[in-house]
Amino acid sequence: MATDSEIVRFAAPWPGTAARLLEGLADLGPGTWSLEVICRAAGSGTEPGHASQILAGLAMTGLCVPTAVDDSWLCEYAPAELKRLANILDGAEHFRRMRLSPSAIEFAVTMPMSPSYLETELSAMLGRPGGYLTTSDAFARLARAAARRLVIMTPFIDAGGFRWIRRVFEAARTDCRKILVLRDSDRYAVELGVLHASWLQALRVEVCDYHLSHDTTSGRSLPIETFHAKLVVADESLAYVGSANLLSSSEGVSLETGLVVEGAPASQAARLIDAVLRVSRVL
């Protein structure tokens, strides 16, 4: 049997996706499975072509074996062992992201509607209200930077927020995966299903709901698991973390603050987003 370090080496340069594949195989149990079934079990939009390359690498360690049937793989490892290895690969993925680039941080601000008392204390600089990067410009920067995935996570959204999100997603590359994470999406059934359905579909925006019920026997004091965080994350290299909801007031009425981070902090935000997407309900 290959050592843990050998498995990490043969999973490079995609240990995170390899971890999802092993988790999928653990859920399926020992046996022969088609690539399509494995990808579906792995979740998070794992692409068959990408998965095939990773499985070929893992096959070098004996974790799985390609079969005579096209795009099918045999894995006889116990689910518990596969999940243990997936945890190790998750750690390798986190380390990889931490090393991608040095950390950098910039403050982003939405100034109160003008005229305001605050603006008299903070002069504009280079077209920046108060001298700060605006929240809108911060979101646009993330959209342009995203090559593979752009995720917007907001607990509250209104009509102006949907228009704002549309502009952000339209600024991203056509082939970039676009994901919107909401809290209690049933509140936005009309907006998602009617008012904004056409452009959401045209831009291939995936909508997820992180608003999960726990069984009464779980021991939780509150039955609903949800979020209040506001995040925009581009790949694993750039992220906005701050106070701004996707509301009209957050773009130009009320004071909002946030940080645009890159490098290690952004990779940590991406790791959190990965986990949120795994547990969220996909609409």
Domain stops at, among 71, 99, 127: 99
Q: Which CATH number belongs to the domain containing residue 117 in this structure?
A: 3.30.870.10
Answer yes or no: do 262 and 132 share one domain.
yes
Tell me: the pLDDT tens digits for 30-78? 999 999 999 989 875 678 888 899 999 999 999 999 998 778 999 999 9
Answer yes or no: do 30 and 120 share one domain.
no
Contact call for residues 212 and 226 (beta carbons, < 8 A): yes
Answer yes or no: do 90 and 120 share one domain.
no
Tell me: the pLDDT tens digits for 234-250? 998 899 999 999 998 88
Q: What is the mean pLDDT of the chain?
A: 90
Tell me: the pLDDT tens digits for 154-196? 999 999 999 999 999 999 999 999 999 999 999 999 999 999 9
Q: How many domains does the chain have?
A: 2
Answer yes or no: do 30 and 87 share one domain.
yes
Answer yes or no: do 164 and 187 share one domain.
yes
The number of beta carbons lying within 10 Å of the beta carbon of residue 124 is: 12
Answer yes or no: do 162 and 255 share one domain.
yes
The pLDDT score that the predictor gives to residue 95 is 77
| Residue 163 domain boundaries | 105-282
Answer yes or no: do 261 and 165 share one domain.
yes
Answer yes or no: do 71 and 209 share one domain.
no
Which band of pLDDT confidence, cut at 50, 70 and 90, is reported for residue 125?
Answer: low
